[in-house]
Each structure stands twice: as C-alpha cells, then as structure tokens.
C-alpha cells in the first residue's frame, strides 16, 4: 500500500519513465507522441494517488467498476481530465455512471449498447463507445468475435444515443503481436468502409506488459495500471 510522500514520488517517476517508453515506441514506429493517449487505470487505487497521476499530467483515467468509480469520483481533481469506463458494465449500473464518463470502451453486446443509448438520450447526450473485440475468441472473455464485429457495428451504428468511435481489445498473453496485428487490420478495414455514425478514431489496446508492442501496431490509447501504481492486489 502506497501511503507516504516518498512513495507518491515513485508514482511521479514511474509516469516519467512510462512517457519516455511511449515516446520511444512512437518514434520507432514512425508515429507522433501526441497521437498516443496515456490512460491511468485506477482499479484499487485510492483517489489521492490517482490525483498524484493527474497532477503529473495524466489526463485520462480508466475505471473498471461502477461502484468504485462512484465512491471516488468526487475526490478526483477532474479539471481537463476525462474518464473512460473500461470494465464489464452491468446494465443496471449504466445510470450511475452515464454523467461521469466521457466514453464507454467495453461495449460487448448489442443489448448493452441499446441500454447505454437509452440512458444517454434521457440525459440529452450521445455517448461515445468502443466495441470490445474478443480477438482470441476465448470462452472466458467477453466481447465480439473478430469475424462478427463488422456485422455488430452495422447494427449498433443505428442505435440512438451512442456513437461508435473505435475498438478495444485485451488479447491473449501468448502471441500478443499476432493478435495486435490482427485487430489493427480489422480496425483499418472498418475505417475504410465509411459507415454512418462510425468513426474509427480510437484503438484501445496495450497494458503495462505490452503497451510498446501495441503502439507499434497502431494503438492510440494505452491502459497502464501496475506499471504506474504498483501491484494493487
């Protein structure tokens, strides 16, 4: 558990190192640093430590659980900071976060997209969403299978209250580059189709152990938890 000032300084230094690695990975793959969004994943991290990251220039938070987000939300320093929901979202929790997040990345079913749309309309907004792709077709993971994602996009793009802004993926740990390249190809293919209410602006992939590889394959949101805050379990 990180509690004292010296350990808070460790977080600041970790963020500096992460940014250096992001910059190097971007340059190595011919990309610009400002194309890559660094997300601080805040699961099991206290609000005061999240604020250390915010004060160090992190402008994007990733929340996994609605209940945890609601318990910490008003303790965050949220000036010019966006929150994305990245965990499995239960339909009955949508109303509790709809006005707290700027994007829901983990949309894994048409029914969930419809419910998000209903709540968004009730709150006079259009909610940007990413579709979660189960790129490894793992039985234990949620998300759309890669060979079906385009079919689902065509349906979800017609749901009022949501706008598809890209894809999110958590690949199997084995052969990660294969899966990163596969989702990149799917992402590019969908981008070229020019579907109404769909803009492939964001490819969210890469975490603490593989974000540099993800950047080399086109990721522009990298979700960093342990590497920034240390082990939280």
Q: Residue 125: what pLDDT?
A: 98
Q: Residue 1: what pLDDT?
A: 44
Indicate if the alpha-carbon torsion angle 96, 100, 106, 109 is positive or negative: positive
For the full predicted model, state whether its pTM sits above 0.85. yes
The 10s digit of each residue's pLDDT in 92-113 is 999 999 999 999 999 999 999 9
The full set of domain ranges for the chain reads 5-229
pLDDT-derived band at 7, boundaries 50, 70, 90? confident
The fold of 5-229 is TIM Barrel (3.20.20)
């Amino acid at each position: 558990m990180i509690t004292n000032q010296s350990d808070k300084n460790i977080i600041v230094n970790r963020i500096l190192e992460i940014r250096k690695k992001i910059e190097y990975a971007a340059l190595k793959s011919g990309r610009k640093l400002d194309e890559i969004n660094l997300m601080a994943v805040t699961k099991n991290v206290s609000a005061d430590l999240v604020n250390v990251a915010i004060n160090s220039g992190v402008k994007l938070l990733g929340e996994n659980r609605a209940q945890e987000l609601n318990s910490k939300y008003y303790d965050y320093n949220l000036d010019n900071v966006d929150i994305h929901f990245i965990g499995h979202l239960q339909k009955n929790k949508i109303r509790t976060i709809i006005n707290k997040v700027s994007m829901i990345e983990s949309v894994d079913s048409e029914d969930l997209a419809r419910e998000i749309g209903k709540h968004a309309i009730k709150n006079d907004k259009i909610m940007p969403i990413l579709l979660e792709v189960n790129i490894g077709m793992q039985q234990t993971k949620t998300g759309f299978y890669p060979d079906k994602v385009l079919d689902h996009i065509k349906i979800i793009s017609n749901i009022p209250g949501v706008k598809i802004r890209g894809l999110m993926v958590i690949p199997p740990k084995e052969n990660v580059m294969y899966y990163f390249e596969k989702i990149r190809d799917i992402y590019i293919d969908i981008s070229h189709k020019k579907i109404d209410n769909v803009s492939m602006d964001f490819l969210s992939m890469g975490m603490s152990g593989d974000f540099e590889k993800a950047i080399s394959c086109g990721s522009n949101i990298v979700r960093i938890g342990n590497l920034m805050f240390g082990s939280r379990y």
